[in-house]
Structure 1
Amino acid sequence: MCTRVFWNGNQLAKLAGRSMDWPESTEPLLIAFGAGRDRDGGKLLDQVVIADNPLRWTSRYSSLITSVYGLGTVDGFNERGLGVHALYLQSTDTGPRDPARPGLHTGLWAQYLLDQAATVDEALALMDDVQLVMVGARGRDATLHLAIEDSSGDSAILELAGGELVVHHGPQFTLMTNDPSYDEQLELLAAHDFSHPSRDLPLPGNVNPVDRFQRAAYYQALLPEPGTERQAVAGVMAIMRNVSVPFGAPYGDFGVYNTEYRTVSDLTHRIYYFELTTSPSVIWVEFDKLPFGPQPVAINPYDDSLTGNVTDRFTPSDIGF
């Protein structure tokens, strides 16, 4: 599940919010990777998942990310202000493997772009010669689509249909949830003018992806020009809370995944805000003060002692990807 909202229309900061909805804990870690890290897009930890012509690279940029199961990246941004957010999309279809093209498994898709691109344009160019390959973990396939944005306000949505990359590129593409495909989501949104809210406009209240998409559009349109950075972050975080699912909500046949956490990426000032649903405290990290180096450093947001600015709480990590 999950929701992403990009607020690029205010004068203070370019802010990207996301919620993580899943039926169990994703065991998130906040990890800071330094530039110069070698990666193999054909390996899932020590397991080879693409044997023929895997994509390999050395990271150009440092990044601050949230991991999933310790296997890959689902959220974060890099030193140049490129943000990436991986959300679930059941209809994702990577198509048959073509060994003539370098293969990149979907669990490292977000990290590859953070490692190598400074802007949305550069990230899209990176995809020209790469083939995404489906990978599974914990009994579920990483059927993902990506929302990317940069500190200039540019944005793009990337999906895979029939093995082909489908891209919606432009600063107007600020919202993303899950199924159906983005084309269909935009058609459904156009049927109601949620971008011009009024007190009499009926507002979808369900937790399914279509209702969350439309509700996010409504509340994003209500955001006033902020007077401070704190107000700007509060505005985006309020939307992410609005589209969240109560913790512990049953999913079963209803298909509802509760919200584990929410994040806001300030791409202008390079500050990362993280709110664990079961914690009373929002924590944040100042990217420019992190001790980037050859070895990653990390924190576990389930550490109950974390509160406020946790930049100095990162410690060396042996994370494997």
Structure 2
Amino acid sequence: MNRSRIACSFGLAVLTLALVAAPGHTCSRILWNSNKLAVVVSRTMDWPESTEPILTVFPRGMNRDGGMVATEQVVKVNPLKWTSKYGSLVTTLYGMGTADGLNEKGLGVHFLYLNACDFGPRDESKPGVQAALWGQYLLDNAADVNEALSLLDSIQVVPAEAHGYKTNVHLAIEDASGDSAIIEYIGGKRVVHHGRQYTIMTNDPTYDEQLAMLHKLDFSKPSSDTPLPGNVTAADRFQRAAYYEALLPQPKSEREAVAGVLAIARNVSVPFGAPYKGFGIYNTEYRTVMNLTQRRYFFELTTSPNVIWADLSKMDLSPGAPVKTLNPDNINLSGDVTDQFQTAKKAPF
């Protein structure tokens, strides 16, 4: 086992022991880019109600208006408009945007809640994209993390709202090479942490705060005697995820690689009824895994006994192909559901 890797990953996690996360929505992201088989990444979606997740396949050539939330124009001046270069497979949220997904080039995106998020005042000289379409814009136009980051220089992410919730989010992105970036907006300024070492992400505090604490801690010899917090706060989940990710054994198959990150996602999931401080109950609604090397997307609804998956490489992504969807809230779904997607009556966005 590479002890230096453990120390780095675990140290980054355990630094949050001294930090108290602010109340807010909870989610976790675990990237495993150090195994020899495939780049795999998992996330949990923790929310107080159904986010109405729909698995959706978008072909190339989709015309989008980044200023729209459903039928409402929330970016009224200079909304970002584009035509997608790449096809993608995503999980939508309330039909207003993409919470999680990957594109045909192996770029993955996930947005998670960040209490400290502040996109700043509107700069109408820059095309604006509402935050729930931020990730989809990158999937549509970027082949890797470097391209995705370069796209952000010329646009502005604008907050939106749905079901009474504001899109105070930060974004994790990764690609098939194992590159990774965490993007936050703090005090109206974009803050980017770019590098393969940024594998774990939860919610508050900001990454800058976490990294500042890293140098004060020494967890170079983690073992079964190392105390790990077991609650559902972002700090607790961050610690457990980083500790277990650093100790994952080399997988012999895709099945083992997917099982590895999914096991950690389950470990940091929020059980039904578990309170998240004074902010309410934010149970884990679903978990996903992406195999960015082979372009497969796995989905596990917590109220379903089965894991389902779809192979993006087998989808028709040619311009003019239909948008296809699958509602995962179906207890009869199991295993490979690539052929069970149906043509959508209307694209969600």
TM-score normalised over the length of structure 1: 0.96
- Structure 1 distance, partners of 2:101, 2:171, is 12
| Structure 2 spans left out of the alignment, 5+ residues | 1-25
Aligned to 1:85: 110
Residue 320 (structure 1) aligned with residue 345 (structure 2): no
Tell me: higher relative CO, structure 1 or 2? Use CA pairs within 8 A at least 6 residues apart. 2
Aligned to 2:133: 108
2:44–2:284 contact (8 Å) kept in structure 1: yes
Letter in 1 for 2:340: R
For the aligned residue pairs, the C-alpha RMSD in angstroms reads: 1.5
Secondary structure, counterpart of 1:39 in structure 2:
strand
Cα displacement (A) at 1:196: 4.8
Aligned to 1:305: 332
Cα displacement (A) at 1:134: 0.5
Q: For each residue in 1:135-161, what CA deviation from the matched residue of structure 2 results, as whole angstroms up to 9, or x when unmatched? A: 000001011100000000100000001
- Structure 1 distance, partners of 2:149, 2:109, is 12
Residue 243 (structure 1) aligned with residue 271 (structure 2): no
2:37–2:254 contact (8 Å) kept in structure 1: yes
Give the alignment partner of residue 309 of structure 2, picking from 279, 284, 287: 284
Letter in 1 for 2:222: P
Cα displacement (A) at 1:91: 1.1
1:194–1:218 contact (8 Å) kept in structure 2: no
Aligned to 2:92: 67
Give the alignment partner of residue 249 of structure 2, picking from 217, 221, 224: 224
2:113–2:168 contact (8 Å) kept in structure 1: yes
Q: For each residue in 1:263-305, what CA deviation from the matched residue of structure 2 results, as whole angstroms up to 9, or x when unmatched? A: 0000001111101101000001111112335321010000222
Give the alignment partner of residue 239 of structure 2, picking from 214, 219, 225: 214
- Structure 2 distance, partners of 1:308, 1:268, is 19
Aligned to 2:12: none
- Report the identity percentage: 60
2:233–2:276 contact (8 Å) kept in structure 1: no
1:207–1:256 contact (8 Å) kept in structure 2: no
Cα displacement (A) at 1:197: 2.5
- Equivalent pairs counted in the alignment come to 321
Q: For each residue in 1:176-208, what CA deviation from the matched residue of structure 2 results, as whole angstroms up to 9, or x when unmatched? A: 000111112334455555575311111111110
- Structure 2 distance, partners of 1:189, 1:313, is 46
Cα displacement (A) at 1:245: 0.6
TM-score normalised over the length of structure 2: 0.89
Secondary structure, counterpart of 1:214 in structure 2:
helix
| Structure 1 spans left out of the alignment, 5+ residues | none
- Structure 2 distance, partners of 1:189, 1:217, is 13
- Structure 1 distance, partners of 2:170, 2:85, is 23
Residue 122 (structure 1) aligned with residue 147 (structure 2): yes
Secondary structure, counterpart of 1:97 in structure 2:
coil
